[in-house]
Amino acid sequence: MDATVLDRSIPELAGLVTRGEVSAEEVTQASLDRITRRDGALGAFLTVQAEEALAAARAVDQKRARGEALGPLAGVPIGIKDALCTRDAPTTAGSRILLRPASKGEATLDPRRGFRPPYDATVVARLRAADAVLVGKTNLDEFAMGSSNENSAFFPARNPWDPSRIPGGSSGGSAVCVAAGLALGALGSDTGGSIRQPAALTGTVGIKPTYGRVSRYGLIAFASSLDQVGPFAADVRSAARLLGVIAGRDPHDATSLGAPVAAYEEACGRDVRGMRIGVPEEYFAEGIAPTVEKSVREALAGLASLGCELRPVRLPHTRYAVATYYVLATAEASSNLARYDGVRFGARAEGAESLGALYAKTRGEGFGREVARRIVLGTYVLSSGYYDAYYLRAQRVRTLIRRDFEEAFREVDVIAAPVSPTVAFPLGERVDDPLAMYLADIYTLPASLAGVPALSVPCAPTPAANGVPSLPVGLQLVGPPLEEARLCALAAAWEGISPARGLRPRQPWGLRSDEPSYAPEPPVSEA
Amino acid sequence: MSPAPEGPPPLAEDEVRSLARLANLDLPDDEIRRLTGDLGRILAYVRQLEELDVTGIEPTAQVVPGFGAEGAAGRPGAPSVEPTRVELRADEPHESLPHEIALREAPRTSMDGFAVPGFVEED
């Protein structure tokens, strides 16, 4: 079958499957074949569930053969960030600590030995119910902590536009999976930018919904007041369709919102003339790469050409977002990650003679450096004596950051800004400088702290220069709570005139000749 | 970005060691040293929060309405879709994980339970 069927949009492909013009099994096989051919060089997937995916696809085809109506994602191959629970399929959170102990002769570091959850995350169950086909679990920074995917305990994911560069993180594998056409969509999670930033750096569309719009049940918790699940896709309509499937109240997540789910896909194509777009100058401050600023400003001019009205807005507490976030998120993480103790699931250190030693040894061996750093920082900011100075103060500054947005949204309908101050950087460039890595999250953290929806949509890639190839740049659109449909409308209108429209990395699977092969074994089917 | 004089002291290695112990993390000495440097730099950066006067500002713990975050809805500039208040489910019994499934992923089990080293004698 023609594998370019994978380069269709999700609504188109679901239509083809629903009309019987292509079978879900053929599409799934094409996706699995592409993963086999391309992913060795990219590392997007930690595990691939080939047999389960083909069985699910055949079930969709049989359903059609019986004359039953198919769901809105009929036969659409999807990658799932490995921080989301998938029933009986390995789930690692990118960490050693969720690996079952190896038997003799087994490799110690194999994601296929990951924790097998007894249930599906609600978002995963909703995808299945919509007749999507889940092909595998995507790579990530350990426990979603990172902005480059280099904190994966297994191997880094690589950017298909230049495999010597990071794809962003923490949902790097999900972004790569879509950018390289391995699947049509993917789910990620965004705590401080973990969907938007990798989407921007890989030239894909990524949506972080309003906090509470999408259920977090079955998402391995990092920072519970910030975590939110959202979709990746190659275009806005496709991402909108995915969001429509996963959004909505879930009795299993008390923080999920009961407000009606808007018609996100239908919003794409809506007239955006007269929309008031706020441009926060704080987001074009010191530190932004000139090529990124140029591309984003061109996109703003594009929005004006669509009949939108650009207005300056102030978000004066933006500069405090990094400090606020790295206090609050680490505090919540230190609490959430206390559950990994070597007793009920996952890894367990050998030779511990007391319960305390079992905990400490299991956790010391099981967590990677960045996770340990954040747990200790979180423990510090919550400890008596420092609680008021750090944690409580950061919570108060969070209020100021929220108010910035409330004030701004009295004046404008949407805020438009860059996603990341730079394009994708080379692997290894920032691994030894955690603060530099944190500072690059400055444009995505404020919307996370405020709980408001935001997305990244590609704008013009940077021009190739000085041996650096052309690389993607994202435009960030931020809206008031529950206004995802408005963001989709604007993003789709921009996409229609964007110079990035339809751009794909030319050789996503190809390593440059001077690149060492980094993944000795491609991920293998569970079967 | 200069730290306020009355702020907490910079972290010492021993302090990081005891924090790691509190967090149940057994880390080798070279990691503790490295961590001490990293945390010192991060905390020096975080101290810029001290520039702000937050007197009388309510802390935000949660942004969901019904969880102490009533701020967003109802104010000017509020969303056109009003978030509804979170409803608590009825307090009724429901199914939980079967015993054997709950134990399935445990690295060690004993007598139909999770096996751990003896701890009764511990302080």
**B8 shares contact with chain A (CB less than 8 Å):** yes
Query: Do A37 and A72 touch, CB atoms closer than 8 A?
Result: no
Alpha-carbon gap: A409 to the closest alpha carbon of chain B (Å): 5
* Residue B46, amino acid: V
CB atoms within 10 A of CB A86: 25
Query: Do A449 and A314 touch, CB atoms closer than 8 A?
Result: no
**B99 shares contact with chain A (CB less than 8 Å):** no
**A335 shares contact with chain B (CB less than 8 Å):** no
User: Quick check: B6 pLDDT over 80?
Assistant: no
**Residue A125 phi, psi dihedral angles, 5° rounding:** -60, -40
Q: Which residues of chain B are within 8 Å of residue A254 when distances are taken between CB atoms? A: 86, 88
Per-residue tokens: A98? 């969720």
- Domain ranges, residue B33: 7-53
**Residue A79 phi, psi dihedral angles, 5° rounding:** -100, 145
In terms of pLDDT, which residue wins out, B98 or B86?
Answer: B98
Does A103 qualify as catalytic in the annotation? no
Query: Do B67 and A255 touch, CB atoms closer than 8 A?
Result: yes
What distance in Å separates the CA atoms of residue B53 and residue B71, rounded to the nearest whole number? 20
The strand ranges marked E within A67-118 are: 77-81
The pLDDT value given to residue A505 = 87
The pLDDT value given to residue A490 = 98
A325: nearest Cα among A395, A260, A263, A243? A395
The pLDDT value given to residue A515 = 39
The pLDDT value given to residue B85 = 56
Instruction: Count Cβ–Cβ pairs < 8 Å, chain A vs chain B.
Output: 218
The pLDDT value given to residue A527 = 38
Number of domains making up chain B = 1
CB atoms within 10 A of CB A118: 15
List B residues 27-86 in contact with A (Cβ-Cβ < 8 A): 27, 31, 34-35, 38-39, 41-43, 45-50, 52, 54, 57-65, 67, 69, 71-73, 75-84, 86
The pLDDT value given to residue A506 = 75
Does A170 qualify as catalytic in the annotation? yes
Q: Which residues of chain A are within 8 Å of residue B107 when distances are taken between CB atoms? A: 100-101, 342-343, 345-348
The strand ranges marked E within A161-238 are: 185-190, 205-208, 228-233
A242: nearest Cα among A130, A135, A122, A144? A130
Is B41 inside a domain boundary?
yes
Per-residue tokens: A93? 């959170």
What distance in Å separates the CA atoms of residue A164 and residue A269, rounded to the nearest whole number? 37
User: Quick check: B75 pLDDT over 60?
Assistant: no
Predicted-complex ipTM score: 0.91
CB atoms within 10 A of CB A467: 5
Model confidence pLDDT, tens digit, residues A114-164: 999 999 999 999 999 999 999 999 999 999 999 999 999 999 999 999 999
Buried b (16+ CB within 10 A) or exposed e, B49-76: bbeeebeebeebeebbbbeebebbbeee
What distance in Å separates the CA atoms of residue A232 and residue A238, rounded to the nearest whole number? 8
The strand ranges marked E within A255-360 are: 276-280, 309-313
User: Quick check: B73 pLDDT over 60?
Assistant: no
Is B86 inside a domain boundary?
no
Residue B12, Cβ density class (10 Å: 0-12 exposed, 13-18 middle, ≥19 buried): exposed
To test the contact with chain B by mutation, choose from A314, A324, A396, A432 the residue with the greatest count of B C-beta atoms within 10 A, namely: A396
Q: Where are the domains of chain A?
A: 3-324+394-497
Q: Tell me: cis bond preceding A170? Omega within 30 of 0 counts.
A: yes
A77: nearest Cα among A1, A136, A138, A158? A136
CATH number at residue B41: 1.10.20
Is B110 inside a domain boundary?
no
Task: Pick the residue from chain A with its C-alpha nearest to B100.
Answer: A118
Model confidence pLDDT, tens digit, residues A221-250: 999 999 999 999 999 999 999 999 999 999
Query: Do A240 and A264 touch, CB atoms closer than 8 A?
Result: yes
Assign 3-class secondary structure to A138-166: ECCCHHHCCCCCCCCCCCCCCECCECCEC
Query: Do A308 and A273 touch, CB atoms closer than 8 A?
Result: yes
Question: Domain A3-324+394-497 falls in which CATH fold?
Answer: Amidase signature (AS) enzymes (3.90.1300)
**Which residue in this structure is represented by tokens 């480059």?**
A148
What letter does residue A458 receive in the DSSP assignment? E
What distance in Å separates the CA atoms of residue A132 and residue A60, rounded to the nearest whole number? 9
Mean pLDDT of each 10-residue bin along chain A, 527 residues long: 85 98 98 94 97 98 98 98 98 97 87 97 98 98 98 97 96 97 98 98 98 98 98 98 97 92 97 98 92 98 98 97 98 98 96 95 97 98 93 97 97 98 96 91 97 98 91 98 98 97 73 39 39
The answer to whether the Cβ–Cβ distance between A396 and B106 falls below 8 Å is no
The strand ranges marked E within B3-117 are: 109-110, 113-114
- Can you say how many angstroms the Cα of residue A374 is from the centroid of all Cα atoms in its chain? 20
The strand ranges marked E within A300-449 are: 309-313, 414-418
Model confidence pLDDT, tens digit, residues A383-403: 988 999 999 999 999 999 999
Three-state SS at A482: coil
Per-residue tokens: A340? 């990994």
